Each structure stands twice: as C-alpha cells, then as structure tokens.
Amino acid sequence: MLEWYANLTFTLMIFYSIAIVASLILMIQVLLMLIGVGDDLDVDLDHTNGLGILSLRSVTGFFGGFGWTGVIALENGSSPFVATASGAIVGGVLMLSVAYLMRMLYSLRESGTIDYQHAIGQVGTVYLPIPPNQSGPGKIRVMIQGRLKVVTAYTKFAQKIASQKKVKVLELLDARTVIVEPLGAETEDEKEEPT
C-alpha cells in the first residue's frame, strides 16, 4: 500500500490524500449518526443554527467530492488545472447538496408534534440573557410536552434577565417564540391590586 502511494505523482498524491481523509471522516460521521451521537458532533462553522452551508458535514462532502473528482480526472490524463477546477465544481455541488439535505432533515424533525402552547405556564431557565422591554430576543430552556427545548424568548420586564435565572412562560409571541417574566416578578395587575 505504501509503495503504491509512494509511486504516485505529487499532484495525484495530494488529491488521493484529500479524498481518503475526507472519506474516513465521512465514514466516522455516518457511524456516529447510526449510534445516535453524530447529530451532536456536527459543527456549524457559520453559526446559523446548525443549518448553514458551512457545517462539518458539508465541508467534508466538499473535500470528498473535490479529492475523488481530482483523482479520476488525473487518472484519465487531465491536467492538474482541469482536475482542480472539476474537483472544485463537484465538491461545491456536494457541499450544497449536503447542506440542503441536512436542512430538510432538520425541518422534518422540528415539524413534529410539539405544540408551543404547552409551554405557557411552564418554568424554564434563561440560556441566553433576555433584554428588557421586548428590545431583543434571548433564549430559554423549557420542558414542552416532555422534551427539553431551547426557545426564543422576549420579556416585558423592565430589566434584563440574566443567564441561569428562572422564568415563567406567560404567552406566545408567535408559533415558536414566548414571552416570559422572571420568577417572583410582580405583574402590572398585581401591583394595582390593593392589599
């Protein structure tokens, strides 16, 4: 095996190395997904909720397509420039295809039977700080129908609610966004009631 590798041209050696490493990473990702941990290990490289084009899976797909297409092109007598260009095109198509497929799979998973109406009245924990007076979103972790979910949250409260504080879900702002208040906070109605 090493003798075969050592007899390759430098350009072919580079393309084979890229292709083999990308294929090994892809096989490891598939095996981890089959045992149920691969989903947690995918890294979102462009920070768009795990659904962006630049995730570890899509980049691995790019390099796999790039490497194997370059190997095939060089083995068929193409120049290094043609091999690189065709590898980049095929790799780009594979990267976009993987990103699209992962987005579709996530949307199927998210469109399950979760009804965010069941969050109303639940107590959750602030995950990302929530700005005051509905000036911006934060995130909370809350149990909805037996599942721990991270949900976008706003507050009408006059002060920022810090991370790890307990909050109560008051209402839905839209299908997947909630309005919360910190536990122990007085509502406007309670302030107006005489004691």
Domains of the chain by range and CATH?
2-110 (no CATH), 116-182 (2.40.50.140)
Tell me the C-alpha distance between 78 and 110, whole Å: 45
CB-based burial, 83-114: b 16+ in 10 Å, e otherwise = bbebbeebbeebbeebbeebbeeeeeeeeeee
pLDDT for 49 equals 45
- If pLDDT is split at 50, 70 and 90, which confidence band does 67 have? very high
pLDDT for 175 equals 82
Helical residues (DSSP H) of the chain, grouped into ranges: 2-6, 10-34, 38-41, 56-75, 80-110, 188-192
Mean pLDDT of 151-165: 92
- This prediction has a pTM of 0.50
- If pLDDT is split at 50, 70 and 90, which confidence band does 178 have? very high
Tell me the C-alpha distance between 90 and 194, whole Å: 72
